[in-house]
Homo-oligomer: A and B are copies of this chain.
Amino acid sequence: MVLPGLIGVLGGMGPLATVDFMQKLLAATPATRDQEHVPALISAIPQIPDRTQAFQGRGASPLPAMLACAKRLEAAGAGVIVIPCNTAHIWFEDLQTAMGIPMLHMVEAVMEEALATCGARLRIGLLATQATLASGLYGKHACAPDGRVVEWILPTGWDIRQCVSPGIAAVKAGRLDEGRDLLLRAACALHQRGAAAVVLGCTEIPVVLNDQNAPLPTIDATAALARRAVEWSRSALHGSEAPGVV
């Protein structure tokens, strides 16, 4: 049942972010016809308990449902698991321990691109859910292999409550204009506080923010994970060659 190069996408957190990830998977692949695209199997099963509420002790753990979805992907032949949801990475190690196949870490993919993009000036803003911010998910990855250290600029408590959290909720509810306005305001605040770039560290955020409309360069966590997944798939299929027919 295993298909070489088949990417398992543990999505649905939220559903729009999963569609955005699929678009970025296509954008990251050099292809002129259907058959040259990388193969993917996507779990868009959104009945996974809310990650932020669980982290804050206000709801059930998402781990059992995430594990059930990842096992579905493995059973169907996926060779790797990626999760286009930053906050879900709080449970990454637990999930990896329970799974029989490798997983690609979103924050590692982001850090690699951030270090390449930002040069010496490593004051980087971070827009993310309350749980991602409080968990230190990005903070743990602050040290580069070359010794440089990222100085993270996080939104203030006021900005989180007034802009970031309601902005993410608006995107999840499909109110994209409202979400864009709120999240742009939070990005501007980070820029004014000296951020040289901003990590879009919740997969709902790049649905509405990007390099064209933000006041500072953006580092898109969804796109970074998509690029890493395409690299994995293409190297699983003999170096950089296009995949063969099923």
- Check: A37 CB closer than 8 A to any chain B CB: yes
In-complex Cβ contact of A26 among B16, B42, B69, B75 (8 A): B16
**Known contacts A245-B60, A246-B69: does B44 contact A40 (CB below 8 Å)?**
yes
- Check: A33 CB closer than 8 A to any chain B CB: yes
- CB-based contact A40/B45 at 8 Å: yes
- CB-based contact A72/B68 at 8 Å: no
Interface string of A69-87 (1 = CB under 8 A from B): 1001101110000000000
In-complex Cβ contact of A76 among B49, B76, B245 (8 A): B76
- CB-based contact A33/B75 at 8 Å: no
| A232 smallest CB distance to B (angstroms) | 15
- CB-based contact B15/A45 at 8 Å: no
| Band of interface residues on A | 35 or more
- Check: A183 CB closer than 8 A to any chain B CB: no
CB-CB contacts below 8 Å: A23-48 with B: 23, 26, 31-37, 39-48
- CB-based contact B39/A12 at 8 Å: yes
The CA-CA distance from A32 to B246 in the complex, in Å, is 38
Q: What residues of B have a CB within 8 angstroms of the CB of A34 in the complex?
A: 12-15, 46, 48, 50, 172
| A68 smallest CB distance to B (angstroms) | 6
- CB-based contact A72/B19 at 8 Å: no
- CB-based contact B77/A47 at 8 Å: no
**Known contacts A34-B13, A34-B172: does B41 contact A244 (CB below 8 Å)?**
no
**Known contacts A75-B1, A245-B60: does B44 contact A35 (CB below 8 Å)?**
no
Interface string of A218-246 (1 = CB under 8 A from B): 00000000000000000000000001111
Q: What residues of B have a CB within 8 angstroms of the CB of A60 in the complex?
A: 245
Across chains A and B, which 9 residue pairs bring their CB atoms closest together, nearest first?
A65-B246, A14-B34, A39-B45, A76-B76, A42-B42, A34-B46, A72-B76, A40-B44, A37-B46
18 contacts between A and B (CB under 8 A): A13-B34, A14-B33, A15-B34, A22-B22, A31-B173, A31-B174, A35-B48, A36-B46, A39-B44, A39-B46, A39-B47, A41-B43, A42-B44, A45-B246, A47-B245, A47-B246, A48-B246, A75-B76
